[in-house]
Structure 1
Amino acid sequence: MKIEKSNQTTSAVYRDALAIRRAVFIDEQGIAPEDELDQVTAATWHYVAYDDQNQPVATARITPEGPGSWHVQRVATLKTARGHGYARQLLAQIALDARAANTQRLVLGAQVTAQSFYQQLGFQAVGPEFMEAGLRHQQMQRRF
């Protein structure tokens, strides 16, 4: 497995990230395309995990959110690739990059059904549940 990242919307990494997000969020979960395919800035970094056949299988993105904080979003793994640890390794790389950049915390809005996955990676729930794109979410954070 390899992980690549890019902040360029013209990159293959960005195209692969969008393809995974379309498959998981739009096709599988039924999220409206206008809710999923939002605007990004040059500060947004897209991460993609590739399997041993160099196929894109998982993605996430980060956006700096004020000093010392990164917002992790759009964590997704293709249905056929789940259970192999791709998202876990992707988030571990994001954590390494965050620490190298002197970031003190990662924050994310987790779908409630995925909370236990994030808890295993050191994230803790904060605040009340909320609805986003018709799904229950919980704000979570991981401090370094």
Structure 2
Amino acid sequence: MYAKKVETEKEYEDAIKIRRKVFVEEQDVPLHLELDEHDEEAVHFVAYDEGTPFGAGRIRVIEPGIGKVERVCILPSYRGRKLGNLMMQCMEDYSNSTGINKLKLNAQSQAILFYEKRKYTITSPEFLEAGIPHRAMEKQI
């Protein structure tokens, strides 16, 4: 199993397919909120298990040296196997290699512990995004 930066149209389609399954189908996020205007400018990532996609995410540069991690997801059948760490490590390594030294994200409240274990710290009170409770978090990398 591995995660990588999206480099082909098929990899991009695979990442979008995972995001639709997790956010739109599983969590009822409206499609127009999930697939947004930032998809064109973001760097996308996808994770595979012998050619089968199971994870996705994206990063956008929001200020010089600061990236925003977004849309990180793992298919339900792959959860609980530390594969979110595989996705995040790939995204953090990419960020570090491109001069990004701080990452921000809006974590679903149920995922805060996952991000805290990766050394992200909470920087906001809880808020709703697409009807789901979130907290802003960040990490120096």
From 93, 98, 104, the counterpart of 1:96: 93
C-alpha root-mean-square deviation of aligned residues, in Å? 1.5
Distance between the aligned counterparts of 1:89 and 1:70, measured in 2? 18
Shift of 1:39: 1.9
What is the count of residue pairs matched by the alignment? 141
Distance between the aligned counterparts of 1:16 and 1:90, measured in 2? 14
Q: How does 1:45-124 map to 2 (within 5 A)?
A: 45-51=43-49, 53-124=50-121
Quickly say closer, same or farther: Cα 1:32–1:42, change in 2 above 3 A. Answer: closer
Percent of paired sites with the same residue: 33
The alignment's TM-score, normalised by the length of structure 1, stands at 0.91
- The SS at the match of 1:14 is helix
Superimposed CA distance per residue, residues 69-100 of structure 1 (whole angstroms, 9 cap, x where no aligned partner): 01000000001111222221111111111212
Q: What corresponds to 1:5 in structure 2?
A: 5
Distance between the aligned counterparts of 1:39 and 1:7, measured in 2? 19
> Post-superposition, which runs of at least 4 consecutive aligned residues in structure 1 deviate over 4 A?
none
Distance between the aligned counterparts of 1:41 and 1:97, measured in 2? 17
Q: After the TM superposition, which of the residue ranges 31-40 and 125-134 deviates more from structure 2?
A: 31-40
* Structure 1: segments with no counterpart, 5+ residues: none
Shift of 1:118: 0.5
2:55 and 2:75 in contact (8 A); partners too: yes
Q: After the TM superposition, which of the residue ranges 67-76 and 80-89 deviates more from structure 2?
A: 80-89
The alignment's TM-score, normalised by the length of structure 2, stands at 0.93
2:4 and 2:90 in contact (8 A); partners too: no
* Structure 2: segments with no counterpart, 5+ residues: none
